C-alpha cells in the first residue's frame, strides 16, 4: 500500500480565520426562502385542444366545489381555490403534526386563441375540475362598398 498523499499547494492546510469569518457573514445576505409560498400546493393542469375547444383538467384535491373560483378573460384562464382547515381533533386530543395544506392557491395560464366566455362549462368531481373552453369564432372581414 502506498501511504503517500500529494500535497495540494493551492488549498492551505489550515483555513485562515478571515476567510472563515467572511463565509459566515456572507450567509446573512442570501435571500430568505418564503416557506409560506413554498408550501402552497400548485394547481396542476392538463390542457388538450381540438378544432373548436380547449379542454382543461385541473387537480384541486380536498377543495369543496363552492371554494373554487374560475375566471376567463379573452385567452387567459385563472383558477383559484381555498382549502379551509376543519377541526379534526376530538375533545381531549391535540394535534402533534400535520403535513396537510390549508390556504389559498391560484393558477393562471394563457391559451393561444381567445375563449368564448359565454359558453364555458365547468364540472368538478373527485378532486378534478374539468373545463370546456370553446374558442371564439374568428372575426371575418366585411367588404364595404364605397358609394
Q: Which domains does the chain have, with CATH numbers?
A: 42-86+102-138 (2.60.40.790)
Q: Give CA–CA dist 72/62, Å, rounded.
A: 23
Secondary structure letter of residue 89 according to DSSP: P
C-alpha cell of 128?
378534478
- DSSP per residue, 93-132: ----------EEEEEEEE-SS-B-GGG-EEEEETTEEEEE
pLDDT digits 0-9 by tens, 76-135:
999 999 887 776 667 788 877 877 777 888 999 999 999 999 999 999 999 999 999 999
pLDDT digits 0-9 by tens, 34-55:
454 444 568 999 999 999 999 9
pLDDT digits 0-9 by tens, 11-36:
565 556 666 666 666 666 655 554 54
CA nearest to 119, candidates 106, 135, 108: 135
Kindly report the number of other CB atoms within 10 A of residue 128's CB atom.
Answer: 13
Amino acid at each position: 500500500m502506498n501511504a503517500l498523499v500529494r500535497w495540494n499547494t493551492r488549498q492551505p492546510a489550515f483555513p485562515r480565520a478571515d476567510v472563515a469569518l467572511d463565509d459566515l457573514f456572507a450567509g446573512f445576505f442570501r435571500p430568505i426562502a418564503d416557506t409560506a409560498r413554498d408550501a402552497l400546493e400548485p394547481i396542476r393542469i392538463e390542457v388538450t385542444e381540438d378544432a373548436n375547444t380547449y379542454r382543461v383538467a385541473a387537480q384541486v384535491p380536498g377543495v369543496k366545489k363552492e371554494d373554487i373560483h374560475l375566471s376567463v378573460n379573452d385567452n387567459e384562464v385563472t383558477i383559484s381555490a381555498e382549502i379551509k382547515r376543519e377541526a379534526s381533533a376530538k375533545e381531549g386530543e391535540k394535534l402533534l403534526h400535520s403535513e396537510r395544506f390549508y390556504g389559498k392557491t391560484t393558477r393562471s395560464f394563457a391559451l393561444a386563441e381567445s375563449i368564448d366566455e359565454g359558453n364555458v362549462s365547468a364540472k368538478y368531481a373527485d378532486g378534478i375540475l374539468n373545463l370546456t373552453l370553446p374558442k371564439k369564432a374568428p372575426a371575418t372581414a366585411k367588404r364595404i362598398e364605397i358609394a
